[in-house]
Structures are given as structure tokens and as C-alpha cells.
């Protein structure tokens, strides 16, 4: 699934869209379905993607706001 997610991110970025999302999966054979755990893991991954995006200077919101005021 990682390859599909990476491809989707690239396609969206090429169109000028930057989205952060997290995806988690679990094998039912591992003893059931833990929805709370899945949501928490997906959220953790989404926050990690956001942090990675905004760590880059060109994506810093404060820089964009300062540019608009100039």
C-alpha cells in the first residue's frame, strides 16, 4: 500500500496540492480489529507527514504570510 500512497502524494503535488494523511492497516488474523488503535496510528502518521512538510523552509506558513504583507 505504501507505493500507492506515495504515488497519490506525487500526483497531488504535481497539481499543486499538498495534503497530509495517515493510513493504518491491521490483519484481522492477528486477533481482531482494534479501531481505536488504527485511528491513533493513522493520526500519528498524518501528524508526522505534516511535520515533515512544514520542516522544509519553502513550506513554512510564516514565510508565506510575510511574503503576502510585502
Model pLDDT for residues 27-56, shown as the tens digit of each residue: 877 677 888 989 999 999 999 988 988 898
Compute the chain's Rg from CA coordinates: 16
Q: What angle do CA 35, 50, 1 make, to 5 degrees?
A: 50
Burial of 38 (0-12, 13-18, 19+ CB in 10 A): middle
**What range defines the domain where residue 38 resides?**
2-69
Q: pLDDT over 90 for what percent of the chain?
A: 23
Residue 19 phi, psi dihedral angles, 5° rounding: -120, 150
Amino acid at each position: 500500500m505504501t507505493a500507492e500512497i506515495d504515488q497519490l502524494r506525487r500526483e497531488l503535488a504535481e497539481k499543486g496540492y499538498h495534503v497530509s494523511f495517515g493510513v493504518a492497516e491491521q490483519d484481522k488474523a492477528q486477533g481482531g480489529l482494534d479501531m481505536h488503535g488504527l485511528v491513533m496510528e493513522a493520526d500519528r502518521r498524518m501528524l508526522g507527514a505534516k511535520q515533515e512538510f512544514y520542516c522544509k523552509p519553502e513550506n513554512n506558513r510564516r514565510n508565506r504570510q510575510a511574503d503576502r504583507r510585502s
